[in-house]
Structure 1
Amino acid sequence: MNLVNIGGVPEHFNYPWYLTLKNGDYKKQGINLRWQDYYGGTGDMIKDLRSGKIDLAVILTEGIIKDIIEGNPSKIVQVFVKSPLIWGIHTAHDSKFKTVNDLKGSRAAISRFGSGSHLMAYVNAENQGWNVETDLNFEVIKNLNGAVEGLLNGKADYFMWEKFTTKPLVDNGTFNYIGSCPTPWPCFVIAATNQFIEHRSDELKTILNIINKTTTDFKNIPGIDMTISNRYDQKLEDVREWISLTEWSQKNITNKQVQEVQQKLKSLNLISEELPYHKICI
Structure 2
Amino acid sequence: MKDFIIGGVPEHFNLPWYLTLRDKEYTKEGINLRWKDFSGGTGQMCKALREKQIDMAVILTEGMVRDIINGNQCKIVQVFVKSPLIWGIHVADNSNYKKVKDLKGTQAAISRFGSGSHLMAYVNAENHGWNTEEDLNFTVIKNLDGALEHLPAGNGDYFMWEKFMTKPYVDNGIFRLIGECPTPWPCFVIAVRNDVLENDEDSVRKILDIINITTEDFKEIPEIDVMIAHRYGQKLEDVRTWLSLTEWSQEQLSKSVLKDIQDQLLKLDLITSKMPADAILKNL
Determine if the TM-score, normalized by the shorter chain, exceeds 0.5: yes
Corresponding residue for 1:67? 67
Aligned residues: CA RMSD = 0.4
Q: Does 1:119 align with 2:119?
A: yes
SS at match of 2:151: helix
Corresponding residue for 1:249? 249
Corresponding residue for 1:178? 178
Corresponding residue for 2:280? 280
Tell me the alpha carbon deviations over residues 151-205 of structure 1, each in whole angstroms, 9 at most, x when there is no partner.
Answer: 0110100000000000000010000000100000000000000011111111001
Q: Does 1:144 align with 2:147?
A: no
1:215 maps to a residue whose letter is: T
Cα distance in 2 between the residues matched to 1:270 and 1:123: 10
The aligned runs of 1:85-124 (5 Å cut-off) are 85-124=85-124
Q: Does 1:163 align with 2:168?
A: no
Cα distance in 1 between the residues matched to 2:99 and 2:178: 6
Corresponding residue for 2:217? 217
Cα distance in 1 between the residues matched to 2:191 and 2:8: 11
State the number of aligned residues. Answer: 282
Corresponding residue for 1:35? 35
Cα distance in 2 between the residues matched to 1:188 and 1:228: 18
Corresponding residue for 1:128? 128
Specify every segment of 5 or more residues in structure 2 that has no aligned partner in the other structure, as ranges.
Answer: none
2:186 maps to a residue whose letter is: P
Cα distance in 1 between the residues matched to 2:124 and 2:46: 23
SS at match of 1:57: strand
Tell me the alpha carbon deviations over residues 126-159 of structure 1, each in whole angstroms, 9 at most, x when there is no partner.
Answer: 1011111100000000011111111011010000
Tell me the alpha carbon deviations over residues 93-139 of structure 1, each in whole angstroms, 9 at most, x when there is no partner.
Answer: 01000000000000000000110000000000010111111000000
Tell me the alpha carbon deviations over residues 221-246 of structure 1, each in whole angstroms, 9 at most, x when there is no partner.
Answer: 00000110000000000000000000
How far did residue 51 of structure 1 move?
A: 1.1
Cα distance in 1 between the residues matched to 2:74 and 2:43: 14
| Structure 1 stretches of at least 4 aligned residues deviating more than 2 Å after TM superposition | none
How far did residue 16 of structure 1 move?
A: 0.2
Cα distance in 1 between the residues matched to 2:197 and 2:230: 36
Corresponding residue for 2:58? 58
Corresponding residue for 1:24? 24
Corresponding residue for 1:44? 44
Cα distance in 2 between the residues matched to 1:62 and 1:203: 26
